[in-house]
Chains A and B, each alone.
Chain A
Amino acid sequence: MTVLLLAILVISLAEGIPLYKKGQKKELVFMFFLLGTAIVLKVMEWFGLPSPVVMLDRLVSPVGKAIFK
């Protein structure tokens, strides 16, 4: 988690400051949305909740297993 937060801090500073200076607020919002989603995935793992890909896998893998051996 510490490494993840550090990575988010570095990306936020490197990408966020130029965007803020240019006044590109929409880009800033979307950048933080993606970074926030990365944190949400880690928090979900902490609480033992499946990630969206795992949920999709559970939904689709029976079909795949029926077709492929």
Chain B
Amino acid sequence: MPEKGIINTKQFAWMLFVIIASIATTQIPSMLIAQAGKDAWLSVIGGWFLDVLLAIVYAYMGIRFPGENFVQYSVTILGKYLGRIVGIIFSLFFLLVFAIFLRGSTRLVSINFLPNTPFEVILVSNFLVSAYIARKGIEVIARMTEVLGPLFFISGLGLFFLAMPLMDINRLKPQFDNGVAPFMIGTPLILTFFGICIMMAMFIPLCNRPEDGFLAKFSAASMGAVFTGILTAFSTGIFGAEQAKNFYSPGLMLARTIHFGPYLERIEIFWAVILMAAAIVASASMMWAFSLGIAQLAGLKTYQPLVYPGALLALMLGLVSFPGSLELSNFTHYSFPVLAAFVESGLEILLFITALALGKRGTP
């Protein structure tokens, strides 16, 4: 197996939390508020519930095919040709997420903190750091998330605590003002971003206790949902749905509102540093999954030589496909959820049903 690293359940959970929280707290809350308005925070609960249901399938498949990730059990279930096509789709999905997510995070830094620095310089730096981490392997990513995950979670809670006096609960009322339709549409939208944690299928075979896969995912999804839900509710409660939906990053705007006299000001930089660090590490795990998936499908001895070429390919894909932030926003809003739903739910459920119907199992 190209990856020889082993992770424990705690690292597994923090890795998933960092992925969920960093992806779901950048521009997703504003997209969700645009979709579901005042009911956006309820959609987060709906998304969490469906994500946990999906996690049961992934965890079950991880146990049914011991020692295999979904790229590998695609081949076991569907055979050499069709299985490889499904495996490549999974790997390419991670490449796409890597490209769009790092590009979105870079835009955040460029607009808010480094407006005079060329965008490409920040972008290339982010890609390089992310690829460097990915090349070091799963254990390095796991150790980094063990530090970053709690820091991210605690800083988020601190942020919400400090922003609490500004919160106006009346801005969240009445619920279901426009019926249940906004909530029903917001739920699958947030699910597709929570669902990037299908990454758990890559982590299960490397976990020292694979049977804890569901527990890790449940803990991470719950913490991520609490984090995203509070952030969405606070953004709506402080700025109002009409204003919050136009922010690029409501979390950053929330951090900007906090100040206590002349003593505590501009704390958004701390939030941004933690957020960017988490975003880079989360992206590194995407690149790791892409390289490992391709290496396993091709039967390579190691995945490391594919990391930098993969990162360069993702960089080019991002630059060529999305010349401006408008194209990227449109893709993230309209196309990504459809593609993600197909890969995260459609393909996995296809594999699950096929495995049950054909009675396929892995070898212990």
Contact = CB atoms under 8 A, between A and B. Distances in A.
B310 A27 contact: no
Interface string A5-29: 0011001001110010000101110
B316 A41 contact: yes
B184 to A, nearest CB: 10
Interface size class of B (residues with CB under 8 A): 35 or more
Nearest to A44: B320
B35 A68 contact: yes
Interface string A34-69: 110110011011000001111011001101110111
B111 interface: no
Given A19-B305, A38-B309, A68 B333 contact: yes
B335 A34 contact: no
A42 B320 CA distance: 7
A9 to B, nearest CB: 11
Given A27-B302, A34-B306, A68-B337, A54 B312 contact: no
A32 to B, nearest CB: 8
| Chain B interface, >50% SS class | helix
Contacts of B316: 4, 38, 41-42
Given A26-B298, A31-B305, A51-B321, A11 B185 contact: no
B189 A68 contact: yes
B5 interface: no
B337 A26 contact: no
B108 to A, nearest CB: 21
Given A38-B316, A57-B331, A68-B35, A30 B294 contact: yes
Nearest to B135: A15
A24 to B, nearest CB: 6
Contacts of A69: 34-35, 185
A14 B308 contact: yes
B114 interface: no
B92 to A, nearest CB: 9
B354 to A, nearest CB: 24
Contacts of B302: 24, 27
A67 B309 contact: no
Given A41-B320, A51-B320, A35 B309 contact: yes
Given A26-B298, A57-B331, A64 B338 contact: yes
B340 to A, nearest CB: 10
Max chain A C-beta neighbours (<10 A), residue from B35, B320, B330, B336: B320
Contact of B337 (A7, A54, A64): A64
Interface string B318-358: 00111000000011011111110000000000000000000
7 contacts: A27-B295, A30-B295, A32-B309, A38-B313, A56-B339, A67-B185, A69-B35
Interface of B: 34-35, 96, 99, 185, 188-189, 294-295, 298-302, 304-306, 308-310, 312-313, 315-317, 320-322, 330-331, 333-339
Given A53-B96, A61-B330, A61-B335, 17 more contacts: A4-B316, A11-B312, A15-B304, A16-B305, A24-B301, A27-B302, A27-B305, A28-B305, A31-B305, A34-B310, A34-B312, A38-B313, A53-B322, A56-B335, A63-B338, A67-B338, A68-B337
Interface of A: 4, 7-8, 11, 14-16, 19, 24, 26-28, 30-32, 34-35, 37-38, 41-42, 44-45, 51-54, 56-57, 60-61, 63-65, 67-69
